[in-house]
Amino acid sequence: MTVSTAQRPAPRSLRRRTLSRARAGGLPYLLVLPVVLVLLTVAGWPLLKIVLLSLQRQDSGKYALFHGGSSSFTGLSNYVDTLTDATFWTVALRTVVFTAVNVALSLVIGMAIAHLLNRVSPWARILLTATLLFAWAVPSTVSTQIYYWLFANQYGVVNYLLDKLPGVHMHGHDWFADPHQGLAVVTLVVVWGAVPLLAISLHAGLTQIPREVIEAARVDGASAWQVFRNVTMPYLRPLVAILATLSIIWDFGVFNQIWFMRNGHPEPGYQTLGIYMYSNGIGSSHYNVGATIGVLMMLGLLAVIVVYIRQLLAIGDAE
Amino acid sequence: MSMTTLPSPAAATETARPVPARRSPPTTLGGRRRRSGTWLWNSVAVLLAVIFGFPIYWMLITAFKTSADINRLVPQFWPVHPTLRAFREVLGDPIFRDDLRNSFVITLSAVVVSVVIGFFGALAIARFRFAGRRIFVVVVLLVQMIPLIALTVPLSLLLDSYQLKNTLPGVALTYLMFTIPFTVWTLRTFIANIPRELDEAAMVDGCSRWQTFYKIILPLVAPGLIATGVYGWILAWNEFVFANTLLIDNNKQTAMVYLLVFQSSPTHGADYGGLMAAATLTALPVVVLFALFQSRISSGLTAGAVKG
Amino acid sequence: MKRTIAGAAVVASTVLLTAACSSSGNSSSGGGGGAVPSTDGHGKTVTVWLQADAQNGWPEVVNQANQRFEQQTGAKVNVQWQQWSNYTTKLDSTFAGSTAIPDVVELGNTQTSSYIAGGAFADLTGAKGQFENSSTWLQGLSESGTSVDGKLQAIPYYAGSRVVIYRKDLWTKAGVMTPPKTLNELYADLDKVKAANSGDSNFSAFYMPGKYWYAAMSFVYGAGGSIATQSGGSWTAKLESAQSVQGLKNWQKVTTYSVGGATKDEADQDAVMAQGHVAAILGNGWELGAVTAPDTGNPKLAKVLSTFPMPGTGAGNYTPSFPGGSDLAVPQKASNKDLGAEWIKVFTDTKSQTMLAKYAIPNTTSLLHVYEGQSQANQSTGEAAKKTWFVPNTPNWANVESANVLQNALESIATGKSSVEDAAKSADGQIEKILNAGS
């Protein structure tokens, strides 16, 4: 997406004449062919299989799996069972809230740091950016383990430091006894891993906004917030749209951080849809149920981001 | 992850803060405020760097601590009895070395393939209008929506039927599922930012379409290729779910799986020093990659990539 | 015992044929074809999946078995060390395909049931006589390796039982000279140990993690309760019964002496004990070694650790111990089934088991004396192994375990989130649903 208005291409008529559709011919199709082939194989077929699985009921959990036994088609009964299960809705709601909190925090903090990067001296910028990049390079399984260790109830650093504050008694506090607190720690890990990319991307976007426009607004007496709202945001909107979409997709499907924070056995209060799907599906050999939940997850996600996709398509078409 | 331009501090250094050499319209109050304000913001930046970097710091020093020092009620903020035991143990394990090598092979092949065919796909949607373009774009976006975990069983069955299960190429193939969409989308932006007049001028000079691709567009988009390559590397290197399910033999697994196995084993389970050592070694290649390509990315920018 | 090559070939080809023709028609657990130990292995490699317990605990037993096997058959052995975490998922995924299927696989004795019912293993009934000591196998292990209709599908490997591992020095300092003989004595002793260390806010007189279901269920069965009983083909969960609740309360009382473990399980309790602020844990015999390990434990504690079986309600009446253990099986789809069976035969014969008896409870009662003669700890664990309980013997039990029903219920008790009765009721509801799920 183009944020910069630095270069505007030659008059449209000239462009159209030289790059006629007829001359392009089959070339674009040839170019997209490899991608289409790969995605069809690696994503398309498994997706189809999942949908099929969700419409079937297996005779005997493990037996059919080992001997390729046939499963019977039961139509939408898996979906009915799942959608009438109260636990499913609790988990779904928890996932929505968790996603919203994570995405909001990541974007807000990312935007704030992007502005900060814009504001500081070069040495500070390099220091902060380098730190962010290092944080981004750490795999989620590793960062989860580190945070688990930092928040450990007996030997964790966080409890030790917090306990030093006057009037605060955090000695031996178990952060994971209450799922809300535990999920807060998980949120910390997720946001810690997500902010670097957001901050750096948004910062790059900020640097492309023409200085003069911002200066002009400031001269006109606009406050910092007004500058942000009326000048900066319009430029950044496409970028923010893409980042928000991807953040929603990723945070909705968060698995590693919760799974490893609870050492592979997340309590019911920690279960989001991804975890629920794994525990109830693959983890207990109920592949059909797992497939059903997977399909429902995708449908839910689709409903949410269809708005963003429209926006992105509009941007893409405008070019 | 799609960006308008590259993630680089150099970009910011490029368009550096215009320290007002011109002391005009912004009031001197504003000018002075900016200077002293900068001191404050610098401190904030340093504080943030400390907060963000603390977990990494903790990982590093834990890798060098003895077990007794790790499990102390009063945490040590610096290893008092530094030891290389953890590193020696991890590096001495032939399985870890094998797994690390496997990670390299899988990640490198996945990245190279996705950058190449992603480039082609991005060319198509950035430079041409064709029937089905919209659908292609939407599909590329939607593929990213599929939760990986849901696909493990079908993918396992698929690879198995083609004798690709428990093989490195098989896993690399599955990684293409999430590296390609991102690559296509990002490179599309880079290519779209390159003015079409360049293509036209070249073709007027006698180049074929293909030649414009690799003579004109490719060099200009090189920083973008590197950026998507690096990010694809991170995605593939840190991937764990597929590697865990699709690789069976111990010496075929990846470094991520090794970490998982390490932290769940009966004896190593409480060996935080060893775990952090293995984790450090696993995160190291990505960090080195960053350090290496940082300069490439910024030099690509200074070469005037975005300008015509 | 040697079989003629021709004989082995006939059996092998029969197996291959039946495997190729097997379909979902036969729903009994026999599946298609069995395996018979064979010594014809030139040029072949047998892949064995063993848990890392052997790698750390008794590697020489594995080595000598491999050597003898290679000598006898000419085949090579490729041991792939495994981890318990997510093991069943790995097994499911591997057995469902046709790639890299091992020839021998180790399974926990609570996991075998569902795989046997699923027809994952080769039938070894015909060859039972060839496995040494098969007539004196430990009951807990051999039952777990037998299908519902009496077919032998997995061979007993080893067993373990849990005892109280305690710091003799701390207990003596608190005035407790002899191990308790009843639960009430235990509580009294723990009170004394706790009082003697009241200055240390991190001190646990007894470290009992909140998710330690093996321990909690031991108390349940010790009080006369049970997890679930079967009548007429359907299961009724029994954790709400008066006796079970009493057992859970006995367990809960132990958790009150524990600091910091309410949301954890027993996986790292040895490391916690090694830190020095724990006076007792409930653990397997080999955990003594883990607590005093040179790198990750505290070797200084080696002199002061001792053991005794968890006391029960009356003198001499111990709280039953869970006979944790493993079996070995040959997957139905393995490429070297007969060689796999032969390897198991070598690994579980008297010679191997005698070596194993130094570290773990062997698979036969005839070698128990070897085990107990090794150390005081082995005596305790050997004693404890005489009184045991077991999980409901049904394929669906594996799903109860993977759903963490017991762990979650116990954690809510240990953290104080719910009362014993409420947690038991909720757990019962889930257990019944899972155990009675139609297959």
pLDDT: which is higher, B195 or B295: B195
Q: What is the pLDDT of residue A315?
A: 66
3-class DSSP string for chain A: CCCCCCCCCCCHHHHHHHCCHHHHCCHHHHHHHHHHHHHHHHHHHHHHHHHHHHCEECCCHHHHHHHCCCCEECCCHHHHHHHCCHHHHHHHHHHHHHHHHHHHHHHHHHHHHHHHHHHCCHHHHHHHHHHHHHHHHCCHHHHHHHHHHHCCCCCCHHHHHHHHCCCCCCCCCCCCCCHHHHHHHHHHHHHHHHHHHHHHHHHHHHHCCCHHHHHHHHHCCCCHHHHHHHHHHHHHHHHHHHHHHHHHHHHHCCCHHHHHHCCCCCCHHHCCHHHHHHHHCHHHCCHHHHHHHHHHHHHHHHHHHHHHHHHHHHHHHHC
**Of C280, C301, C322, the domain-final residue:** C322
**Of C383, C400, C433, the domain-final residue:** C383
Sign of CA dihedral A81, A86, A92, A95: negative
Residue C113 shares a structural domain with residue C136: yes
In C42-160, alpha helices (H): 52-57, 59-73, 87-96, 112-117, 139-144
Residue A39 shares a structural domain with residue A127: no
> CB neighbours of A317 closer than 8 A, spacing ≥ 6?
B134
Residue A38 shares a structural domain with residue A93: no
Kindly report, residue by residue over A156-187, the tens digit of the pLDDT.
Answer: 889 988 888 888 888 888 899 899 999 999 99
**How far away is chain B from the Cα of C83, in angstroms, using its nearest Cα?**
6
Residue A5 shares a structural domain with residue A115: no
Residue C317 shares a structural domain with residue C177: yes
Residue C166 shares a structural domain with residue C270: yes
Residue C116 shares a structural domain with residue C178: no
Note whether B249 contacts C: Cβ–Cβ < 8 A: yes
**Of C272, C294, C322, the domain-final residue:** C322
Output the six-digit token pair for A65.
Answer: 């799996």
d(CA B170, CA B10) in angstroms, rounded, equals 38
Indicate whether A255 belongs to any domain: yes
Residue A155 shares a structural domain with residue A239: yes
Indicate whether C402 belongs to any domain: no
Residue A169 shares a structural domain with residue A313: yes
| Angle, CA C431 vertex, CA C425 and CA C433 arms, to 5° | 105
Residue C76 shares a structural domain with residue C179: no
* Candidate from A118-127, A305-314, C98-107, C352-361 with smallest mean pLDDT: A305-314
Residue C71 shares a structural domain with residue C37: yes
Residue A249 shares a structural domain with residue A309: yes
Indicate whether A267 belongs to any domain: yes
Residue C226 shares a structural domain with residue C305: yes
Q: Is A263 left (phi over 0), alpha (psi -120 to 50) or beta?
A: left
> CB neighbours of C341 closer than 8 A, spacing ≥ 6?
C35, C36, C37, C38, C122, C124, C127, C330
Residue C313 shares a structural domain with residue C173: yes
d(CA C404, CA C69) in angstroms, rounded, equals 39
Residue A262 shares a structural domain with residue A203: yes
Indicate whether C17 belongs to any domain: no
Average pLDDT over residues C85-107: 88
Note whether B264 contacts A: Cβ–Cβ < 8 A: yes
Number of structural domains in chain C: 2
Residue C101 shares a structural domain with residue C181: no
Indicate whether A55 belongs to any domain: no
Residue A43 shares a structural domain with residue A89: no
**How far away is chain B from the Cα of C87, in angstroms, using its nearest Cα?**
11
Number of structural domains in chain A: 2
Kindly report, residue by residue over C112-171, the tens digit of the pLDDT.
Answer: 988 998 889 999 999 999 999 999 988 778 888 988 888 999 999 999 889 999 999 999
**How far away is chain B from the Cα of A71, in angstroms, using its nearest Cα?**
15
Sign of CA dihedral C332, C335, C338, C343: negative
Residue A144 shares a structural domain with residue A291: yes
Indicate whether A67 belongs to any domain: no
Indicate whether C193 belongs to any domain: yes
Spell out which residues of chain C touch residue B268, defining contact as CB-CB under 8 Å: 296
Q: What is the pLDDT of residue C247?
A: 95
Instruction: Measure CB to CB from residue C99 to each of B163, B260, B271 and give the nearest one.
Output: B163
Residue A15 shares a structural domain with residue A119: no
Spell out which residues of chain C touch residue A279, defining contact as CB-CB under 8 Å: 402-403
Output the six-digit token pair for C206.
Answer: 């007894």
Cα–Cα separations (whole angstroms), residue C285 to A256, C209, C217, C282: 34, 18, 19, 10
Confidence of residue B36 (pLDDT cuts 50, 70, 90): low
- CATH number of the domain that residue A214 is part of: 1.10.3720.10
Residue C300 shares a structural domain with residue C344: no
The strand pairing partners of C47, in sequence order, are C78
Question: What is the ipTM metric for this complex?
Answer: 0.80
Residue C275 shares a structural domain with residue C338: no
Residue A13 shares a structural domain with residue A113: no
Note whether B84 contacts C: Cβ–Cβ < 8 A: no
C320 pLDDT more than 60: yes
Indicate whether A58 belongs to any domain: no
Kindly report, residue by residue over A16-65, the tens digit of the pLDDT.
Answer: 444 444 455 788 888 899 999 999 999 999 999 889 888 887 655 566 66
Spell out which residues of chain C touch residue B89, defining contact as CB-CB under 8 Å: 295
Q: What is the pLDDT of residue B69?
A: 78
* Candidate from B115-124, B167-176, B247-256, B287-296 with smallest mean pLDDT: B287-296
Spell out which residues of chain C touch residue A67, defining contact as CB-CB under 8 Å: 22-24, 31, 119
3-class DSSP string for B74-92: CCCCCCCCCCCHHHHHHHC
Interchain CB distance below 8 Å, C270 and B270: yes
Indicate whether C423 belongs to any domain: no
The strand pairing partners of C321, in sequence order, are C388
Q: What is the pLDDT of residue A3?
A: 42
Indicate whether C307 belongs to any domain: yes
Residue A164 shares a structural domain with residue A30: no
Indicate whether A56 belongs to any domain: no
Instruction: Determine if the pTM surpasses 0.95.
Output: no
Residue A179 · residue A270 · CB < 8 Å? yes
Sign of CA dihedral A52, A57, A63, A67: negative
- CATH number of the domain that residue C317 is part of: 3.40.190.10
d(CA B142, CA A305) in angstroms, rounded, equals 10
Q: What is the pLDDT of residue C326?
A: 93
Indicate whether A57 belongs to any domain: no
Residue C119 shares a structural domain with residue C219: no
For C347, the domain range is 33-159+324-383
- Give, as one character, the DSSP assignment of residue B251: G
For A16, the domain range is 1-48
Average pLDDT over residues A151-157: 85
In C357-404, alpha helices (H): 368-372, 376-384, 397-402
Indicate whether C126 belongs to any domain: yes
